[in-house]
Amino acid sequence: MADTASATVRDAITTVGAADPAKRDFLKLLTGSAVAIGVGAIVWPFIDSMNPAKDILALSSIEVDLAPVQEGQAITVVWRGKPIFVRNRTADEIKGAESVALNQLIDPQSDADRVKAGKEKWLVVIGICTHLGCVPLGNKVTDPRGDYGGWFCPCHGSQYDTSGRVRHGPAPANLGLPPYTFAGDTKIKIG
């Protein structure tokens, strides 16, 4: 029994020793790919540990009471560490936002797609300039609002209209829309 086993081993050694090039290449390839997969598998936990942790993901929704926000005013609330602008738009501002032809826009999107149907006066956007992340001015009535009556970014001069759409560069995109729903007439839930 022991004899046959060692004979098999000896055979195996001789076969490998015979250096069949195709077989050797195959073994090298196999070893190489096993190492690559192993390294990849162990690197991923390190990389993924830098992604948002569970507690950060958990802080995901807030409720905002809209009652105190008068027409023409805007407030800033914080959601996931980001400023969210909630603006009670005047009739003029809504009309202005709706009447713009889409081909005049840098990032074409109709006003209707940016608010909830029947709640056109409430504009809820992420208050982060899509250029390099500054907080645009315009929530306070005394702030500069740019040529389009929305927001003005002090960092590199981007301008947004009353629908939060970018109208003047360098920002490439409209102000982002957070996921939110109306919970009653004067309350929204963001997240």
Give which of 114, 122, 124 is closest to 67, Cα–Cα.
Answer: 122
**Active site includes 131?**
no
Question: Quick one: tokens of 158?
Answer: 């981007």
Contact call for residue 155 and ligand FES (CB under 6 A):
yes
Residue closer to ligand FES by CB (options 69, 155) is 155
Of the CA atoms within 13 Å of residue 178, those in its CB half-sphere come to: 27
Contact of residue 80 among ligand FES, other proteins, none (CB under 5-8 Å per partner type): other proteins
Contact call for residue 76 and other proteins (CB under 8 A):
yes
CB of 155 to ligand FES, least distance (A): 4
Total residues contacting other proteins by CB under 8 A comes to 26
Contact of residue 121 among other proteins, ligand FES, none (CB under 5-8 Å per partner type): none
Indicate if the alpha-carbon torsion angle 116, 122, 123, 126 is positive or negative.
negative
Q: Which residue has the tokens 């999107």?
A: 109
End-to-end CA distance of the chain: 70
Contact call for residue 167 and ligand FES (CB under 6 A):
no
Residue closer to ligand FES by CB (options 74, 188) is 74
Indicate if the alpha-carbon torsion angle 144, 167, 108, 79 is positive or negative.
negative
The CA distance from 138 to 159, in Å, is 10
CB of 147 to ligand FES, least distance (A): 14
Active site residues: 156
- Per CB under 6 A, residues contacting ligand FES are 129, 131-134, 153, 155-158, 170-171
